[in-house]
Amino acid sequence: MNRRADRARSRPRMLPAVLAAGVVLAGVAAAQSSTALWTASAPSHGITVTAGTAGIEFVAPQPVDGATISPGASVELQGGSLRATGDVELELSVTRDATGTFSDGDVFLQLGFAEPGEECVPTEMGLWPGARVGIGRLTASGGGAPGVSMQVCALFLMAETATEGSGAAVRTAITITGVQR
């Protein structure tokens, strides 16, 4: 009976030792093995694109009947053109200016714009000088192809009541600005 009691008492002492050995073995196993994980990948394809441009080719109209003008007379300017050279459709505006010896109300510059093949008629476009006036849209050429042209004509007028400018030169300036629509 005493021996059995001794064995029974010794079991609890041995159990922690067995558990400890198990933990050590498990630890060794964990340290030696690796945790697997699968991965895969695949690429897409990049691209390089070239940005377009915005451009206008403007040929100013030239005097037809000479460049001398007197009060009450006018000089017609023709042969002007506008063409889009870029890749975007443009909203056009025009600014007219003039320098020379004259008084406000003495000289006028009328401008006209027309589709190719149509009659180009200059019309008074409002404020003068320096005012910017929208004149329409110019279709994009796209990919370097020739753009749609627009005729430009002008009429330079001197009022009958003009009292200044005799013998002086008047220089006009037409600026066309195109902004991407």
Partner 1 sequence: MKRIIHGTVAAAAAAALCAGGSGSMASWQGATTTEQTTFTMGELGLTTSPGTWLMDGAAATESSRAVPGSTLRYTQVFTLTLDGDGLAARITLDAGAVSRGDAFEPSGVSLSAPAVPDGDGWLVTQGGDMTLTLEFEWPKGAEIDDAAQGADITIDASELLVVQEVTP
Residues contributing to the site for partner 1 (CB under 8 A): 37-54, 86-88, 142-144, 179-180
Between 87 and 106, CB nearer to partner 1:
87
Decide: residue 63, CB within 10 A, 0-12 exposed, 13-18 middle, 19+ buried. middle
Between 17 and 49, CB nearer to partner 1:
49
Which residue spans within 52-131 are E strands per DSSP? 56-59, 62-63, 74-84, 90-100, 107-114
Provide the token pair at 106: 């003495």
Between 14 and 47, CB nearer to partner 1:
47
Between 7 and 45, CB nearer to partner 1:
45
Provide the token pair at 133: 């006036």
- Residue 81, classed as helix, strand or coil, is strand
Compute the least distance from the CB of residue 89 to partner 1, in Å.
10
Compute the least distance from the CB of residue 92 to partner 1, in Å.
16
**How many Å apart are CA 175 and CA 167, to the nearest integer?**
26
Compute the least distance from the CB of residue 152 to partner 1, in Å.
24
Compute the least distance from the CB of residue 73 to partner 1, in Å.
41
CA distances (Å), origin 154, targets 35, 122, 146, 170: 84, 5, 24, 15
- Residue 85, classed as helix, strand or coil, is coil
Compute the least distance from the CB of residue 108 to partner 1, in Å.
32
Between 1 and 49, CB nearer to partner 1:
49
